[in-house]
Amino acid sequence: MNFPWLLLIVLTPLIGTLLLFVPKRFIPFSDKQIALYSSLITLIFVLVVAFIFDTSSTALTQFDVSYDWIPIFGISFHLGLTGISLVLIGLTAVLTPIVLLATEHEGMKKRKEFLMWILLVEASALAVFLARDLFLFYVVFEAMLVPIFFLVGRFGGPRRSAAALKFILFGLAGGLVMLAALIWLYFVGATQLGRGTFSITALSNELNMDVWTERWLFLGFFFAFALKAPMFPGHTWLPDTAEQATPGTSTMLIGILDKVGTYGMLAILLPIFPNASKEFAPIIIGLAVFGVIYAALVAMAQKDMKRTFAFISISHFGFIVMGIFSFTSIGMIGSTVYMVAHGLSTAALFLTAGYLIKQKDNSLINSFGGLTKIAPVMTGIFLIAALASIALPGMAGFVGEFMVLTGTFQRYQIPTIIATFGIILAAIYMLWLYQRVFTGTENKETKNIVDLNLKQTLVLSPLVLLTVLFGFYPAPVIKIAESAISNTMLQIGQTDPGPIISKVETK
């Protein structure tokens, strides 16, 4: 076996968590430093892996690390890297240190606990993106709920306990259904293959389920992923949670953890249940398109900044799901790029707004106004984040959105046209928000707002730089995702539709 890079990546934040509790006389670092350094070391490992990653390889996974865990049920601790995983662990590894640096003001009293939960979020997110064993995937999928539950419930706003409860109930509901489907899948596999296995690769390559079994199992897993993503109509936990959670928590939650839903669809649903995926695709595309428009419209009516961001994200998840179920290379790669772009822009939005909200202790849109003059740097960064979020060309979001729309347009023209209306709605909700919060004249309440200092600006600048970089040069993300997507296309037995004109000619 090769050098276990992936194990190292998952363990580093966990080790950091443990080090937080070693008495200070043994360690020369403060809690803050421990958390930051361990997340940075993780980032370095991820970068190393990204450089070694072979984009030309057709292998399903690379850097595999596998240990027997519960051999009697065929469960192993198996980590492996696909192109999609690499993109998403990259996003996780970049966002975590930024969140740690940008949320120094959050949870001042319970500092150590806050850092611990953030690191645990990172570790579980990394593990979930790397898991190649479905049981392991399920375990970390559920384990992720715990740190977020405590981050919301212990550090959030006045109605935090209700929000945390709602969050965990939705998570458990999805997880429970998925567990049932998982057990069923195990027995289907055990009967057919003669050995029980949870290996995602084996399940997707060797299993032939009968039609109805596949449909039910597909729905079971889809239910969990759609609640996590979240898609309409299972989305209502997200606005409540985001409203009560601190900006740092929301960044981790929406920027990283919600991607698990869409990642699951792309990396688990499609390969293991190709036929059912194809059957349900039109319905799911319809639901996704409806979600895009619906959430964009609802976002306009929100009075609270954080709730608005949550609905915007729901709208964006509609785009991502659309791209995944378009079954075209362009659409699926577009979804992968979109996930990265969405992570970056959401983080920038929440964290910049976080600096603002911290100063006023409320996030109501109407309580701000006229910040341009008082806080020009904050205004500038927020505007860039806002434009990135509405997919302005030249930003990463545009690459993702355009590829998703084009890919979907290849198969589903009418839904795509409807979804394209989303770009108009996006301009309205975002610029209207910007107008109310930042333009106009300063009022009594906003005149003592302090602008970002140099350090805070520098913390946020990687988000802006990466967004612009991937907008003009998305090749790294596309290349990495491409190999994995072409494997997925093979597994679901789909080929890209060619141009219509040449078809006409050959007929």
Partner 1 sequence: MIAAIIALPALSAAILLSLGNRTNKFGPWLAIGASTGSFLIGFWQFLQMLSRPEEERAVVTTVYEWLAVPAAGFKVNFALQLDQLSISFVLLITFVGTLIHIYSLGYMSHDENPRRFFAYLNLFVAAMLLLVLADNYLLLYVGWEGVGLASYLLIGFWQHKPSAAVAAKKAFVANRVGDFGLSLAIMTMFIVLGSVSFSDVNEGIKGAPAWVSLTLGLLLLLAACGKSAQFPLQSWLLDAMEGPTPVSALIHAATMVTAGVYLIVRSASIFNASEIAQTAVVVVGTISLLMGAVIAAAKDDIKKSLAGSTMSQIGYMILAAGLGPIGYVFAILHLITHGFFKAVMFLGAGSVMHATNDNVDMRRYGGLPKVMIFTTITFFIGYLAIIGIPPFAGFYSKDHIIEAALSHSWWAGAAVLFGAGLTAFYMTRIVVMTFVSKPRWEDDVHPHESPLSMTLPMIVLAIGATSIGIILTQNHIFEHWLEPVTGFVEPEPPFSIQTITIITLSVVAIGVLAAIWQYRKVAKVAPKNVSFVVTAARKDLYGDVMNEALLMRPGQATTKFLNIFDKSVVDGFVNGLGALTTGISARLRRSETGYVRSYAMSIVVGTAILVIALLIVRL
Whichever of 282 and 393 has its CB closer to partner 1, that residue is 393
Name the strand (E) or helix (H) holding 77: strand 75-81
Q: Whose CA is closest to 62, among 11, 132, 141, 127?
A: 132
User: By C-beta, is 124 or 329 nearer to partner 1?
Assistant: 329
**Structure tokens that stand for 373 in this block:** 């003059």
Report which residue type is found at 231: M
Q: With respect to partner 1, which residue has the nearer C-beta, 66 or 420?
A: 420
- Nearest-angstrom CA–CA distance, 388 and 113: 33
Shortest distance in whole angstroms from residue 345 CB to partner 1: 15
Report the residue number, 213 or 236, with the smaller CB distance to partner 1.
236
Q: Which is nearer to partner 1, 233 or 282 (CB)?
A: 233
Q: Using the minimum distance from each CB to partner 1, give the nearer residue, 29 or 432.
A: 432
Contact 397, 345 (CB under 8 A): yes
To partner 1, the closest distance from the beta carbon of 359 in angstroms equals: 20
Distance between first and last Cα of the chain: 52
Min CB(501)–partner 1 separation in Å? 6
The dihedral region occupied by 59, where left means phi > 0, alpha psi between -120 and 50, and beta the remainder, is: beta
CB 89 within 8 A of CB 129: yes
Helix or strand (DSSP H, E) at 487: helix 475-491
In angstroms, what is the minimal distance from the CB of 125 to partner 1? 25
Q: Give the DSSP letter string of 401-424.
A: HHHHHHHHHHH-HHHHHHHHHHHH
Work out how close the CB of 22 gets to partner 1 at its nearest, in angstroms, rounded to a whole number.
Answer: 41
User: Phi-psi region for residue 209, left (φ > 0), alpha (ψ -120 to 50) or beta?
Assistant: beta
What is the distance between the alpha carbons of residues 86 and 480, in angstroms, rounded to a whole number?
A: 8
Angle at 68 between CA 66 and CA 70, to 5 degrees: 140
Angle at CA 255, nearest 5°, toward 177 and 271?
A: 45
Alpha-carbon torsion angle 384, 388, 391, 394, nearest 10: 70
Amino acid identity at 68 = D
Tokens of 334: 């577009």
Rounded to the nearest whole angstrom, what is the least distance from the CB of residue 30 to partner 1 in the complex? 31
**Cβ pair 236, 455 in contact under 8 A:** no
Place of tokens 């205004």: 379
Q: How far is the CB of 426 from partner 1 (least distance, A)?
A: 8
Quick one: 185 or 375, whose CB is closer to partner 1?
A: 375
Contact at 8 Å (CB) between 483 and 83? yes
Which CB atom, from 286 or from 440, has the smaller least distance to partner 1?
Answer: 440
Closer residue to partner 1 in complex, CB, 226/387: 387
In the bound state with partner 1, the residue whose beta carbon lies nearer, of 92 and 244, is 244
Cis peptide before 497 (omega within 30 of 0): no
13 vs 331, which CB is nearer to partner 1?
Answer: 331
Please identify, using beta-carbon distances, which residue of 131 and 463 lies nearer to partner 1: 463
**Run of H or E residues at 63:** strand 62-70
**For the chain, how many residues are written?**
507
**Helix or strand holding residue 79 (H, E):** strand 75-81
Judged on CB neighbours under 10 Å (0-12, 13-18, 19+), 491 is middle
Q: How far is the CB of 191 from partner 1 (least distance, A)?
A: 35
We find the least distance from the C-beta atom of residue 417 to partner 1, in angstroms, to be 6
Q: Which helix (H) or strand (E) element contains residue 458?
A: helix 454-472
State the nearest-atom distance from the C-beta of 464 to partner 1, in Å: 9
- Closest separation between CB of residue 493 and partner 1, Å? 14
CB of 476 to partner 1, least distance (A): 12
